[in-house]
Amino acid sequence: MHPVISTADLAALLDAGPAARPTVLDVRWRLAGPPGVDSYHAGHLPGAAYLDLDTELAGSPGAGGRHPLPEPGALQRSLRAAGVRAGHPVVAYDDGDSSVAARAWWLLRWAGHREVAVLDGGFAAWQAEGRPVTTESDEATAPREGDITVRPGGMPVLDAEGAVRYARSGVLLDARAPQRYTGETEPVDPRPGHIPGARNAPFSAHSGPDGRWRAPEELAGHFAALGVEPGVPVGAYCGSGVTASSVVLALELAGHPEPAALYPGSWSEWSADPERPAATGPTPG
């Protein structure tokens, strides 16, 4: 399954009947609120199930960062309750920039589920086109209990030591905004700066003003300018492992031959340890 699906293609699948209809996941979330579930109740795609980033697409915050990977059993229960079935396609959407939807995409791939895509442009694009939105559960389209078995290991993962290796001998991409990368500001995590050797690759560069993903050739040029090339290991991190998932997806769209490795703990884990160095300024350091 292609990692990104258009609104038109998803609409056609939703109209094609139960056998062809994918499981749709609403994963809207905002760092500063309001809660994404409120948006879900105010209006969502027909048949969509809501999954919360903080409690279902991540484990409890702690030493592993603000959004560590969820425990496999807990993730499996959440995905099954949302109707995710083995071998059946899944489409995830968020408010529009695809960063949280990319986290859902990455988690499903990590869990061994290959048939998953992100809705191009998210809920904003769907609504702007006048496509159907509902505030109620429809028995005809509501997800039935899924049967997915979570098998971790479907996508490469880095720990802090692995991030150091990638920064030294490969390419480590920092998906945060430039001001957080340089250390000018740090609104959330313990210390400002970035992992020494990491290169800034803001996730906002993956999409255009309308929230839709940039063309593969544009993404390929973007990553080539950052030193990404075949045969060179690539890793990605961000504040808490969420927006970095969109780097992994964007690299796949760009045609990178191997999945990039994700550092789930990201800067929230790294910066919490005062023994780990922090570089500042616009260069990798």
Segment 225-229 mean pLDDT: 97
Quickly list H helices, 111-234. 122-128, 160-169, 178-182, 216-224
| pLDDT the model gives residue 141 | 52
155 pLDDT more than 70: yes
Region of poorest pLDDT, from 103-107, 137-141, 174-178, 275-279: 137-141
**At a CB cut-off of 8 Å and minimum separation 6, what does 161 contact?**
none
CATH classification of 160-270, choosing from 3.30.56.10, 3.20.20.110, 3.40.190.10, 3.40.250.10?
Answer: 3.40.250.10
- Would the pLDDT of 113 be above 70? yes
The string of pLDDT tens digits covering residues 59-112 is 999 999 999 999 999 999 999 999 999 999 999 999 979 999 999 999 999 999
Burial class (CB in 10 A: 0-12, 13-18, 19+), 162: middle
Instruction: Give residue 33's pLDDT band: very low, low, confident or very high (50, 70, 90).
Output: confident
Other beta carbons less than 10 A from residue 142's beta carbon? 13
Distance CA(78)–CA(72), nearest Å, equals: 10
33-52: average pLDDT: 95
Q: Is the pLDDT of residue 139 over 80?
A: no
143, pLDDT greater than 80:
no
Question: Among residues 59, 141, 145, which one has the least CA distance to residue 107?
Answer: 59
Helical ranges in 129-277 per DSSP H? 160-169, 178-182, 216-224, 244-253, 266-270
Distance, in Å, from the CA atom of 101 to the CA atom of 106, rounded to the nearest integer, reads: 9
Helix (H, G, I), strand (E, B) or coil at 117: strand
Catalytic pick among 48, 57, 116, 238: 238
Q: Minimal CA–CA distance to 90: which of 164, 31, 146?
A: 146
- What's the maximum distance between 2 C-alpha atoms anywhere in the chain? 56
CA distance 23 to 75: 16
Whether the domain at 4-128 and the domain at 160-270 fall into the same CATH topology: yes
When pLDDT is cut at 50, 70 and 90, the band that residue 185 belongs to is very high
Q: Output the pTM of the full model.
A: 0.96
Contact 107, 248 (CB under 8 A): no
Tell me what pLDDT residue 144 has.
Answer: 78
pLDDT at 127 over 60: yes
Residue 127 three-state SS: helix
Spatial separation of the C-alpha atoms in residues 83 and 146, rounded to whole Å: 4
For 278, residues 6+ apart whose C-beta sits below 8 A from its C-beta are 183, 191, 192, 193, 194, 195, 196, 270, 271
Question: Residue ranges of the domains in the chain?
Answer: 4-128, 160-270
Q: pLDDT per residue over 252-264, tens digit each? A: 999 999 999 999 9
Residue 285 annotated among the catalytic residues of the structure: no
H-only helix segments in the chain: 7-15, 36-42, 72-81, 99-110, 122-128, 160-169, 178-182, 216-224, 244-253, 266-270
Class of domain 4-128: alpha beta
